Structure 1
Amino acid sequence: MHFSRRARTLEMSEISDAEKVRIASDFIKHAPPGEFNEVFNSVRMLMNNDDLLKDKCITAVSQYNIGQFVPVKLDGVPKQTLITSHNDLGNGRFYDEVSKKSFKYDHVRKEASDLQPHTTSTNNIDEQWRVALQKELDAYVDSYYLKTGTGVVFVKNGVFVVCIESHQFQPKNFTNGRIRSEWTIPVGDGKSGQQDLKGSIHAQVHYYEDGNVQLFSSKEPVVKVNVSADFEKTAQEVFRVISEEENKYQKSLLENYSNMSEHTFRALRRQLPVTRAKMDWNKAHTYRIGQEMK
């Protein structure tokens, strides 16, 4: 059922502010990739209260950006960085591991400002690990994601985390999608030999031409990787394994698509109409469909 804008606004005005915030926040946090602005503007129209939206729903907006690994361009910095929980300084500020700068981030406009130098407590060994891993990550992202992705190595308290984001927004073709992954790298603790490489991969695609279909897919692989004191050799091994796992994941998605097309969707189709007789399309003009429906 379709409602007018005035009817929807009146409907929202009949519930409490707390319930409005809950509903609006839920819409915002589940916005499809590439369609945040459309969802936000629709929520704004429904709430009809900019002060309430700004004061109470900004948390949902920041959670969305952080969870989606939204990329951001910093002035004077060649490569983009990501908005994640790993570089969150609080109070709307984040930092870039590569350029060693912090910045203020506007979650609604998705813009960075007020760049300042940022120093971390990372020791020399951790920094060597980070540089080696970032070098291999840059090469991997440029090759594997055909320069549509962004990857950053974060290090905090001796823990190394790789975050990767790639998206394709094609509103003219009624489709948008994003894939992101996070990997905890087992280096920096001085241990050698086979260690656990833990990952988390998420894909979300929205197709909305003559319909509304969304795909949500995720996987949390745990694989072994050979770790040694050699920074470059270990970094190469890490991203060889990550490449294998992400390839497996994407191949499994393609196999699922094929299976759905050949089996699942076919099973949903009615083999025969309710009359239990096949339609003779050559005689379609002689059928009295309206009368049959009566």
Structure 2
Amino acid sequence: MTSDELPATEKVRIASDFLLQSPPGEFNEVFNDVRMLVNNDAILEQGCAPAVAQYNKEQYIPVKIDGTETLITQYNELPDGRFFDPKTKKVFRYDHLRKEASDFQPAHGEIEENDFQPAHGEIEEKLEPWRKALQAEADHYIDEHFHNTGVATVFAQKGSIILCVESHQFQPKNYWNGRWRSTWKLPNHEGKSSSQEINGVVRLQVHYYEDGNVQLISNKEFSAKVQLHADREKSAKEILRIISEAESAYQNAVQENYIAMSDTTFKALRRQLPITRSKLDWLKLQTYRIAQDMKPQ
């Protein structure tokens, strides 16, 4: 069966799977390749729209609003498909395919209590000062550890506090791209000393494709106890200290494991050089074959 004989629903499913597996920084390249395979822009743009939106939310795509940056995530998506930025208190529309934000509006009272921070009421009065304190410490953490390549946004959703961190490095000229993401569920601050638990997961994905195709995909879950204090700012500093230690330890472990694998596992996977002791020029492979066919029999 050829691709033209596949039903539209099957084409959408296959194309969506390809798009969701796009390495960081290479979504446009994958989209263009899939576009050639599907050969139907209507099916691709309409049928695959949910997959494109899911990819952006899972990857924590950063977006600029009023000189600051927030993230596109499931934690700030409104029921009508718009997004809410807790830093600027604005809602906006996001074009997932073009990765462009537009139609910025003050949140006012349109965000209901069951969605995110309400415009009025007890939940906002209770969570917003705590969210701001955490956001301030998260910004310090980003400036110190991610060298202006990261974005952290603290969301207050349905009575919970969620911290999302994203950082990426795209180096297509050097044949590699990578993205760091972490998600932390943080305790609420009740204005008194207490022992609470924080839970998080760190996701790292790196794609290296010079003379080959290698991907590093790693996930790590964390759980730790934190001692909250009556002072809100002091508690926020303690939480970010624990997060910093956990993420730094994870990064060091990944680096050590990568060095060990470079010296052992990768070398065992294949010859460093073929028997000829020289690398094969893949671009000339067809030329080699043609030359062989032209030899007199």
Output the TM-score relative to the length of structure 1: 0.85
Match of 1:87 in 2: 76
Distance in 1 (alpha carbons) for counterparts of 2:51 and 2:141? 32
TM-superposed deviation, 1:269: 5.4
Q: What is the RMSD computed on CA atoms of the aligned residues?
A: 2.1
Question: Which residue is 2:233 aligned to?
Answer: 232
C-alpha distance in structure 1 between counterparts of 2:94 and 2:53, whole Å = 10
**How big is the shift at 1:92?**
2.8
Question: How far did residue 191 of structure 1 move?
Answer: 6.6
Matches of 1:165 and 1:64, distance apart in 2: 14
In the alignment, what sits opposite 2:5? Answer: 14
Map 1:202-217 to 2 at 5 A: 202-217=203-218
Q: Does 1:50 align with 2:50?
A: no
Deviations 1:22-55 (A, max 9, x none): 1000000010000011111111111111111122
State whether structure 2 residue 71 is matched by structure 1 residue 70. Answer: no
Residue 253 of structure 1: aligned partner: 254
Shift of 1:188: 3.3
Q: Which runs of 5+ in 2 are unaligned?
A: 109-116, 278-297
Is structure 2 residue 101 aligned with structure 1 residue 112? Answer: yes
8 Å Cα contact 1:159-1:188 kept in structure 2: no
Give, as a single letter, the amino acid of the residue that structure 2 aligns with 1:234: S
Q: Distance in 2 between matches of 1:45 and 1:134?
A: 43
Structure 1 runs not aligned, ≥5 long = 1-9, 281-294
* 1:191–1:264 distance in 2 versus 1, CA, 3 Å: farther
CA contact (8 A) 1:186 1:227 kept: no
User: In the alignment, which residue of structure 2 is the partner of 1:163?
Assistant: 164
Give 1:202's aligned amino acid: R
Contact 1:177–1:203 (Cα < 8 Å) also in 2: yes
CA deviations on 1:119-139 (whole Å, 9 max, x unpaired) are: 432422211101110110111
| 1:54-98 Cα deviation digits (max 9, x unpaired) | 221000000000000000112xx1211100001000333101001
Distance 1:183 1:208 in 2: 31
SS in 1 for 2:211: coil
Contact map agreement 2:135 2:154 (CA 8 A) in 1: yes
Letter in 2 for 1:95: F
For the residues of structure 2 that align with 1:131 and 1:81, how far apart are their CA atoms?
14
Is the Cα–Cα contact under 8 Å of residues 189 and 232 in structure 2 kept in the other structure?
A: no
The Cα of 1:211 is off from its aligned counterpart by: 0.7
The one-letter code matched in structure 2 to 1:104 is R
For normalisation by structure 2, the TM-score amounts to 0.84
Between the aligned partners of 1:193 and 1:117, the Cα distance in structure 2 is: 36
Task: State how many pairs are aligned.
Answer: 265
